[in-house]
Amino acid sequence: MSKARERYTQLLTNRTQFLDTAVECSELTLPYLVQQDDNYKGKRTLIQPYQSVGAKAVVTLAAKLMLAILPPQSAFFKLQVRDDQLGEQMDQSMRSELDLSFSKIERLIMDYIAASSDRVVVHQALKHLIVSGNALIFMSKDGLKHYPLQRYVVNRDGNGNVVEIVTKELINREILGIESPKPPEQPVNGDYGSTEDDAEVYTYVRMDENSGRWLWHQEADDQILEGTRSTAPKGTSPWLVLRFNTVDGEDYGRGRVEEFLGDLRSLDGLSQALVEGASVASKVVFLVSPSATTKPGTLAKAGNGAIIQGRPEDVGVVQVGKTADFSTAANLASQIERRILEAFLVMNVRNAERVTAEEVRLTQLELEKSLGGLFSLLTVEFLVPYLNRTLLILQRSNQIPNLPKNLVRPKIVAGINSLGRGQDNEALTRFIQTVAQTLGPEALMKYIDPTEAIKRLAAAQGIDVLNLVRTGEQLEQMKEQQTQELQSKSLIDQAGQLAGTPLMDPSKNPDIAEQAAGVLGNIIPPQ
């Protein structure tokens, strides 16, 4: 048995209970999301719940999480110079210029992410996190790939750090370029079987303690596929193992749906009872007395408005008089539905065409209050490695310059506990207004450098100021030009005032013409 398939078999048992719970959570919310391995390629019809509250709750919460961690109109990170390096290797005055340069690099990175399909894959992974509590993302230079819980196993050390990952997929043999082997061996317990056209491909990922690097390769038919060996530094691994909630000592996470699994079960049962009860209550049956002259066949064949022979008292209607009893179940279902919608932040959804920065901040605050330390976990397990890997890919392809790690560090600004661009802008604006109101406009112009303030405001808003804001040299040239213009205007005004005096009259003072020509020549240079 190969190393990859062997480790997959050994680690499969520990995943079983988590997968069973995830499948039940999926059946009550989004049935297509998580399935048992024997449902691969649609071998069995999915079970549909009797309510859509679970699906609405998962989709809404996933959209809000997506808005909070990857805002569409701003960067989720900020490049900044390490504070301990300021004053040692670079001057403090260079900070604003560096912020502007970093802002340009951030826009390049966000443009790269926007042009890719990363957001689609991340949104799918978030739905899996909410339902199953687990998701696996692989970052390649071609984009992201998501693995649901039924497609991978993981092993963690005592501190919760990932040390092993094994994935399993079915890939067509023609794509792999391998021939069909002998009849397959006994399939792994609880796993899906493969056909002769498909090969079971295992990807084995492990942390090498000696080198401190991630190593992985792919195997099919117990043989290592040629050209699949790869490696990556520890801090820039392309394999991101995500969890929603963590429990000490467990290799897998727990989802949000699992926390409200009891309510979802109850709501689904009540919804089924209400639907079936309403169906029974709406059934109408006509009874004809055995001794009646009215014939049942004639009554059944009679159309709307038909005229037949019979007596009205011969025909009766049977109805279920239990409609009022449904109110108890309906009220309880309504209470459970409200609890679920509040827990998944569906009750306060705002319909808007454009998402503002303030709405993003309020969404982050709302999520932090409702979900506790989710942002901290997503920052450690997703945002930081995702950003590091993206920076590495762009630097290797020369799309952005290499950033010295000893001077520049990225800072995640998604979440309520960090200051994003909008918060930086607000804080800077509030500081300038406070100085102006407290000390007056004169003190503001005296102590605050306008050029530096404009640059920092532009950097806080992510605006490129190239050819927009004048440099110090340009401002100095403008100042000198204005000074010369004022001096020339003053001399001209003085000359105009003296022109009306007897001293400046040529008839009374013949030498004044030559003197005036000399003065004008000094004011207005020859063309």
Local confidence band at 282 (pLDDT 50, 70, 90 cut-offs): confident
Q: For 355-396, write each residue's pLDDT tens digit.
A: 565 666 666 666 766 776 777 788 888 988 899 899 988 988
The share of the chain scoring above pLDDT 90, in percent, equals: 28
User: Mean pLDDT, the chain, as a whole number?
Assistant: 79
CA 120 to chain centre: 9
Which of the given ranges, 24-28, 102-106, 190-194, 304-308, has the highest pLDDT on average? 24-28
Reported pTM: 0.73
pLDDT at 188 over 80: no
Residue 207's DSSP bridge partners are 214
The amino acid present at 79, given as its one-letter code, is: L
432 — phi, psi (to 5°)?
-65, -45
Residue 202's DSSP bridge partners are 168, 219
- The CA distance from 57 to 255, in Å, is 13
Q: Between 483 and 323, whose confidence is greater? A: 483
Q: For 467-514, write each residue's pLDDT tens digit.
A: 556 666 666 777 777 777 777 766 666 655 555 555 555 555 555 555
Give buried/exposed letters for 467-479 (b at 16+ CB in 10 A, else e): eebeeeeeeeeee
What pLDDT shows up at residue 266?
95
HSE-up (13 A, CA, CB side) for residue 205? 25
Nearest to 50 by CA among 277, 328, 349, 341: 277
Instruction: With residue 9 as reference, give the H or E element that holds it.
Output: helix 3-27
Q: For 196-205, write each residue's pLDDT tens digit.
A: 678 899 999 9
Q: For 100-135, write each residue's pLDDT tens digit.
A: 788 888 888 988 988 888 999 999 999 999 999 999
